[in-house]
C-alpha cells in the first residue's frame, strides 16, 4: 500500500527535519516502483495553518498544499523542529490543530524539538519520548508527565515516534520503512543515500568519547590522547591510573564521577569507534580489526558490537560493500 505522509510546516522550521525523512520515503518508493511494486511506498503532502509558501530557517520556501481543515486524514503525521517552535507554540490554534490532526493519523512522528508540539498537545502524557539533547532538560521540566529519554536517537511508544536532532529524523524514517516494508528495503535506501547502516533508536545521540571528553574537561584530555595511540595494546585501569598519577581506586572513582562512565567502559567505546572506522574503510579481516582495536579475538569484537549496536561487525560492513 501507499502511505500518505503529512509534513507539518511553520516558519523557521529546520529544513533537514523535513527533507531528510522526505528523501528516505521517496527513495523507498522509487526503489519499490523499480522492483515492480507499483502503488506501494509513500506519498508526501505539506500542511500549515494556511495554504501557501512557508519560509524555513535556511530561507528555503516550501509550499503548503493543504491546511488543517483538509478532511483526508494522513497515515503518518510528521512534525519537524526548529528555531520557530516557540513562536508556533504561541500561535493561536496551532497546537490544537496538531492535536486534532493527530487523532486522525495512524502514526505520529516528531523530529528534534518538534516533540514540544506533541507534549503541548498532551500526546506524550505518560509516554517515553526524546528530543535534541540541548532541549531535553527543558522538555522534561515543562512537561513532567513525559518520560524524557535524553540520549536516545529515537523512541517509539505505541503509535507515537519521537527522534533527536536533525539527522536523527533520517534514522527514524528508515526505521519506519523497515517496519512497513522490511529490513532489506531499508538497507537499500540507506545505501542509495550513502548513509551509515541505520542506527538503533537506543544508540547515543552523539559519539560517546566526545561526550565523555566534554564531561571530563581538561583533567583527562592527555589520557584520552594516550589511549588513542595505544588501542591495539592491552590497557588496564592500573596503567590509566599511573598515567594520570593517581591511585587506581581514586582514579576509578574520580573518572566515573566526572564522566559518568567507568574507565573500562570508556576504553571499550573508543575501541568500538575505531573498529567502525576500519570496517567502513577497507577489507581487513575481522580478526585483524579485532587485534588492531585491542579486542584480541574476532569473537570478543563480535560480542561487544552486538551488545552496543545490535548488529554484528559483518552486518555493519555489509552497508559499505558495493552492490
pLDDT of residue 276: 82
At residue 322, does pLDDT exceed 50?
no
Higher pLDDT, 20 or 274: 20
Map grid coordinates 503532502 to a residue. 45
pLDDT digits (tens, 9 = 90+) for 26-54: 999 999 999 999 999 999 999 999 999 99
Domain residue extents for the chain = 2-192, 208-318
**Average pLDDT, stretch 243-268?**
92
Q: Give the per-residue pLDDT at 283.
A: 73
2-192 fold: Rossmann fold (3.40.50)
**pLDDT of the residue at 166:** 80
The full DSSP string for 179-205 is HHH-HHHHHHHHHHTT-PSPPPTTSBS
pLDDT digits (tens, 9 = 90+) for 109-147: 999 999 999 999 999 999 999 999 889 999 999 999 999
Query: How large is the average pLDDT for residues 312-321?
Result: 75
Q: Tell me, yes or no, if the pTM score tops 0.85.
A: no
Helices (H), the chain: 15-34, 85-90, 94-104, 115-120, 136-142, 168-181, 183-192, 208-216, 221-228, 237-243, 248-259, 263-281, 286-292, 298-309, 313-318
Report the top-level CATH class of 208-318: mainly alpha
112 is an active site residue: yes
Q: What is the mean predicted confidence (pLDDT) over 262-283?
A: 85
The mean predicted confidence, pLDDT, of the chain is: 89
Give residue 150's pLDDT. 84
What local confidence, expressed as pLDDT, does residue 229 receive? Answer: 84
Catalytic residue among 76, 112, 168, 227: 112
Give the model's pLDDT for residue 200: 55
CA distance 189 to 322: 14
Between 36-45, 119-128, 206-215, 267-276, the lowest mean confidence (pLDDT) is in 206-215
> Does pLDDT of 199 surpass 50?
yes
Amino acid at each position: 500500500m501507499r502511505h500518505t505522509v503529512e509534513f507539518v510546516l511553520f516558519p523557521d522550521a529546520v529544513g533537514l527535519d523535513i527533507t531528510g525523512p522526505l528523501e528516505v520515503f521517496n527513495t523507498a518508493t522509487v526503489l519499490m516502483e523499480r522492483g515492480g511494486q507499483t502503488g506501494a511506498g509513500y506519498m508526501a503532502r505539506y500542511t500549515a495553518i494556511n495554504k501557501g509558501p512557508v519560509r524555513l530557517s535556511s530561507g528555503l520556501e516550501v509550499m503548503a498544499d493543504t491546511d488543517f481543515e483538509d478532511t483526508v486524514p494522513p497515515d503518518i503525521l510528521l512534525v519537524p523542529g526548529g528555531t520557530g517552535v516557540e513562536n508556533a507554540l504561541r500561535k493561536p490554534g496551532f497546537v490544537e490543530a496538531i492535536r486534532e490532526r493527530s487523532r486522525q493519523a495512524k502514526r505520529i512522528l516528531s523530529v528534534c524539538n518538534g516533540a514540544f508540539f506533541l507534549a503541548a498537545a498532551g500526546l506524550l502524557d505518560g509516554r517515553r519520548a526524546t528530543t535534541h539533547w540541548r532541549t531535553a532538560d527543558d522538555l522534561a521540566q515543562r512537561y513532567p508527565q513525559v518520560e524524557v529519554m535524553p540520549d536516545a536517537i529515537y523512541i517509539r511508544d505505541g503509535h507515537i515516534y519521537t527522534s533527536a536532532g536533525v539527522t536523527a529524523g533520517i534514522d527514524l524514517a528508515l526505521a519506519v520503512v523497515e517496519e512497513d516494508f522490511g529490513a532489506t528495503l531499508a538497507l537499500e535506501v540507506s545505501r542509495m543515500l550513502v548513509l551509515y547502516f541505520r542506527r538503533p533508536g537506543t544508540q547515543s545521540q552523539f559519539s560517546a568519547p566526545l561526550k565523555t571528553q566534554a564531561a571530563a574537561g581538561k583533567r583527562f584530555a592527555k589520557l584520552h590522547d594516550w589511549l588513542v595511540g595505544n588501542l591495539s595494546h592491552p590497557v588496564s585501569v592500573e596503567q590509566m591510573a599511573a598515567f594520570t598519577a593517581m591511585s587506581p581506586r581514586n582514579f576509578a572513582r574520580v573518572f566515573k564521577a566526572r564522566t559518568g562512565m567507568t574507565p573500562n567502559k570508556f576504553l571499550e567505546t573508543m575501541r568500538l569507534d575505531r573498529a567502525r572506522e576500519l570496517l567502513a574503510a577497507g577489507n581487513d579481516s575481522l580478526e585483524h580489526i579485532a587485534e588492531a582495536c585491542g579486542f584480541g579475538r574476532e569473537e570478543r569484537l563480535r560480542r561487544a558490537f552486538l551488545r552496543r549496536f545490535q548488529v554484528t561487525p559483518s552486518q555493519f560492513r555489509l552497508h559499505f560493500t558495493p552492490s
